Amino acid sequence: MDKPLIIAFYLPQYHPIPENDEWWGKGFTEWTNVGKAKPLFRGHYQPKIPADLGYYDLRIPEIREAQAELAREAGVNAFCYWHYWFGNGKELLERPFKEVVESGNPNFPFCLGWANENWQAKLWNADCSSSVKKDLIIQEYPGNEDIKKHFYSQLNAFKDPRYIRINNRPLFLIYSPLKHPQLQEFFHIWNALIKENNVAESFYFVGLAKDDREMENIKKLGFDAVTSGLLDRIPSVYMKRPLLYRIIKYILRTKFKKPIVIPYSKAAPLFTHSSFDSKEYVIPTIIPNWDHSPRSGGNAVILHNATPEAFQKHCESVLSIVKEKENKIIFLKSWNEWGEGNYMEPDLRYGKGYIQALAKALKKVFP
């Protein structure tokens, strides 16, 4: 039986850029928040410290090679690099991926996920009861010429033999499909250009849904597939009552300045829905851990006591769902989102535990 295609989301935020220097201070990278994180309650695993690769810089080719080798060890087949195109030719954090394309190394498959969102800073008031979002850079959609310019900015990547294809069509993921005001024009132009440039007949477009309700709506827009980590829905579903969750969240933040803490073992079964994920057009997601307190402090949602053993059980469940599908595709959220406590890379507590857990689950379900 064919083994699944496991694609890990990959964050390129580990090298300084002028914009981050301006907004957050000279030399800022994702490691800045990770390194200063503190435990918020007894038994809270913080800070999370990288082991084998250390506090790396993605401008170093050897680091990218080592990441690919670790991914292979886990059974991950490709990286989905987050890609930032804000319109009018404005990109950010593009250097690591461009160097991967230009150098031909590492020899490891990849695809792109367009993170079409504003970049914002959340400024919380003194009692943490509410926040004001400060726009750092706005996602714009200037029109058809910009859609073409966007395509040609990545044409070399689409031509690369390492680029992931589904049924011979390059996979391209859109993070916020419902926010794109010209989505049909985008599909039409990109499909025409990929054919005109003799790369493929069309793209395999994947839309990311933020919750259950969005999944059907996104498919109806013309996407070939839909995926969702469903993290946004976990707290309210776990507590069974969305209104109760909002009340508890308000009390924790305003009175106690405490995060929402949910056991990973209870949350993991909620990551997937067999009724959704068994559908051919739905790509399920596996999630090893989650704790974005390095970014959000007491306003975080924390999946507590995430362990490689619990992750392996979660992986086996999802792998079993895709076993009978024609396209056995799984997204892994994420390879290296250290600021959100959402990563596979080795740390000082578990070493290669998460990598080994996924490898064991694959061997068990797809012997």
Burial tier of 10 (Cβ tally within 10 Å: 0-12, 13-18, 19+): buried
H helix runs in the chain, sequence order: 18-24, 30-36, 61-74, 95-103, 144-153, 155-159, 183-196, 212-220, 234-238, 242-251, 264-267, 274-277, 293-296, 308-322, 353-365
Q: Where are the domains of the chain?
A: 5-235+265-296+307-365
- Residue 132 pLDDT class (50, 70, 90 cuts): low
Hunting for tokens 């895709």 — which residue is that? 322
Q: Is the pLDDT of residue 43 over 70?
A: yes
Cα 31 vs. chain centroid, distance in angstroms?
A: 17
- Residue 234 pLDDT class (50, 70, 90 cuts): low
Token reading at 188: 């039409």
61-74 and 95-103 helices, crossing angle to 10°: 80
User: 6 phi and psi, to 5 degrees?
Assistant: -105, 120
Report the alpha-carbon distance of residue 110 to residue 112 in Å, rounded: 7
**Over residues 179-208, mean pLDDT:** 98
- Residue 298 pLDDT class (50, 70, 90 cuts): confident
Q: Tell me the fold of 5-235+265-296+307-365.
A: TIM Barrel (3.20.20)
Q: Are 287 and 268 within 8 A, CB to CB? A: yes
Q: What is the mean pLDDT of the chain?
A: 90
pLDDT in tens, 248-278: 555 555 555 678 888 999 888 888 766 677 8
Token reading at 151: 């395509």
Closest CA to 252 of 87, 127, 91: 127
**Over residues 54-58, mean pLDDT:** 98
Closest CA to 232 of 251, 220, 245: 245
Closest CA to 344 of 117, 26, 99, 53: 53
Cα dihedral sign for 211, 215, 217, 221? Answer: positive
pLDDT computed for residue 361 by the predictor: 98
**Over residues 3-10, mean pLDDT:** 97
Burial tier of 173 (Cβ tally within 10 Å: 0-12, 13-18, 19+): buried
140 CB-near residues (< 8 Å, 6+ apart): 86, 87, 88, 146
Q: Is the pLDDT of residue 346 over 60?
A: yes
Q: Are 141 and 182 within 8 A, CB to CB? A: yes
